[in-house]
């Protein structure tokens, strides 16, 4: 099945509806165990994080900040949020960590609300060149009345054109420049753009949604150390936590911006901030402190190997000039095979899950030229370079027109050996580790 096969039949009786929901939940879980998931914006959580998500905090409220709540009964959660903030600050070398955003998109919206005013000009990449939708005028930026100007992009380098961008920043004089985003093969020229921002008094925001785990694992540059004022990210991509977002900044940020950023999350955008997810973020941060470097290194090794395997099969892989990728992502141009929509649907029938992707020359998001692959989830399940070569062969067979059902059998045989989460604690071990690094007994 694919998305187009959905019938959407709604049972009339509540008991039947209840049973149907359970049926589809179980079926999805079973099916996913037989799939190789390469959606670049997803990951799988550890048993320890799952334990947090089904804890009593799932049902509780804690409006406000630790020690300053608007509900009673939150004092134990206060301890968890403070610990989570501390772990995330250690992990990223930041002076402040806000764990309250309930998604990466909300983290971006809060950062925009805190750093800009209605009518301000901001600069970011375009959607076709890698921006997240929240950075553009059709979503959060537009909702806040911001004027979006797009940074120039070098399609050969698959990166921001640094010199052209610096000139544009000086000429445009934006209030805010946003780097990083959704499609992200190579580190952006943050330090060079910082110089131009300083010249015109612009602030700099880094959307680390996709590469937060790689930054935490020290295989990708840390934008705070490169001069970015604010970093936002998702907590569920290369950072392998529950769905949510976070915001980081350092003490060098001016007091007015700090005040506005805190107010942007609470009370302006978020009431209760999903306490069980905050607990899960804390545990994921502990796991990354312990296992993050080895995990991040393997993610990138796998992405590079998968890209090389596809290239060796004669497939057009972007970023060739610079080694295809330095992140978890691989981009492929599949125009000659019918376009991104057709290819990902054919792949799904073979239990190979990926997303269609606009490439720099595209203007149609419904049937773009490319597909995007991510290696973070399959790496967390223990796959390494040898499995990447096999996956490259599977993808080639599908896009060459082989019956997906035949490929599906091979996919299921490979995946059968990789259904246990790696680079993580068991639930009790996570709690022991957090206590240890915080100096507990």
pLDDT tens-place string over residues 397-435: 999 999 999 999 999 999 999 999 999 998 778 777 767
pLDDT at 158 > cutoff 80: yes
pLDDT tens-place string over residues 200-249: 999 999 999 999 999 999 999 999 999 999 999 999 999 999 999 999 99
CB 265 within 8 A of CB 57: no
pLDDT at 5 > cutoff 90: no
pLDDT number for residue 7: 65
Q: How does 325-363 read in b/e, with b if 16+ C-beta sit within 10 Å?
A: bbbbbbbbbbeebebbbebbbbbbbbbbbbbbbbbbebe
pLDDT number for residue 416: 97
CB 108 within 8 A of CB 134: yes
pLDDT number for residue 4: 61
Looking at domain 292-415, its CATH class is alpha beta
Strand spans (E) along 184-319: 203-207, 230-236, 240-249, 316-317
pLDDT at 386 > cutoff 50: yes
pLDDT tens-place string over residues 43-78: 999 999 999 998 999 999 999 999 999 999 999 999
pLDDT number for residue 1: 58
Give the right CATH number for 50-287 from 3.40.640.10, 3.40.1410.10, 3.40.50.1010, 3.40.50.10800: 3.40.640.10
Name 286's Cβ contacts closer than 8 Å, sequence gap at least 6: 87, 425, 430, 433, 434, 437
pLDDT number for residue 441: 44
Name 165's Cβ contacts closer than 8 Å, sequence gap at least 6: 123, 151, 152, 189, 193, 196
CB 49 within 8 A of CB 242: yes
pLDDT number for residue 439: 60
Partners of 245 in beta bridges: 234
What's the chain's average pLDDT? 94
CA-CA distance, 224 to 319, in Å (whole number)? 26
Q: Where are the domains of the chain?
A: 50-287, 292-415
């Amino acid at each position: 099945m694919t998305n187009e096969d959905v019938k959407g039949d709604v049972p009339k009786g509540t008991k039947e509806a209840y049973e149907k929901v359970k049926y589809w939940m179980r079926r999805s879980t079973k099916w996913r165990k037989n799939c190789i998931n390469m959606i670049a914006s997803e990951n799988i959580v550890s048993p320890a994080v799952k334990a947090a998500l089904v804890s009593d905090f799932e049902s509780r409220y804690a409006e406000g900040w630790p020690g300053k709540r608007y509900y009673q009964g939150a004092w134990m959660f206060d301890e968890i949020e403070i610990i989570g903030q501390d772990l995330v600050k250690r992990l990223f070398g930041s002076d402040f960590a806000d764990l309250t955003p309930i998604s990466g998109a909300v983290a971006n919206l809060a950062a925009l609300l805190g750093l800009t005013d209605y009518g301000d000009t901001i600069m970011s990449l375009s959607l076709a060149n890698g921006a997240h939708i929240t950075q553009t005028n059709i979503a959060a930026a537009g909702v806040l009345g911001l004027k979006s100007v797009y940074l120039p992009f070098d399609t050969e380098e698959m990166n921001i054109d640094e010199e052209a961008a610096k000139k544009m920043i000086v000429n445009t004089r934006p209030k805010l420049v946003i780097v990083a985003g959704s499609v992200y093969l190579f580190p952006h020229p943050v330090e060079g753009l910082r110089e131009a921002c300083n010249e015109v008094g612009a602030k700099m925001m880094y959307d680390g949604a996709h590469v937060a785990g790689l930054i935490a694992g020290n295989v990708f540059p840390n934008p705070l150390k490169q001069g970015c004022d604010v970093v936002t990210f998702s907590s569920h991509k290369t950072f392998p936590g529950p769905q949510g977002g976070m915001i980081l900044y350092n003490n060098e940020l001016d007091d007015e911006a700090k005040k506005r950023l805190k107010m942007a999350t609470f009370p302006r955008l978020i009431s209760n901030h999903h306490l069980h997810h905050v607990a899960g973020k804390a545990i994921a941060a502990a796991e990354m402190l312990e296992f993050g470097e080895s995990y991040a290194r393997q993610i990138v090794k796998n992405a590079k190997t998968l890209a090389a395997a596809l290239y060796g099969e004669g497939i057009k892989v972007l970023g060739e000039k610079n080694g295809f990728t330095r992140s978890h992502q691989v981009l492929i141009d599949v125009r000659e095979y019918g376009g991104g929509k057709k290819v990902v649907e054919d792949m799904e029938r073979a239990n190979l899950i990926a997303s269609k992707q606009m490439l720099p020359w595209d203007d149609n998001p419904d049937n773009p030229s490319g597909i995007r692959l991510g290696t973070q989830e399959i790496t967390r399940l223990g796959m390494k370079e040898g499995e990447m070569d096999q996956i490259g062969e599977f993808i080639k067979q599908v896009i060459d027109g082989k019956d997906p059902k035949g490929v599906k059998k091979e996919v299921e045989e490979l995946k059968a050996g990789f259904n246990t989460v790696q680079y993580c604690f068991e639930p009790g071990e996570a709690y022991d580790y957090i206590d240890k690094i915080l100096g507990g007994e």
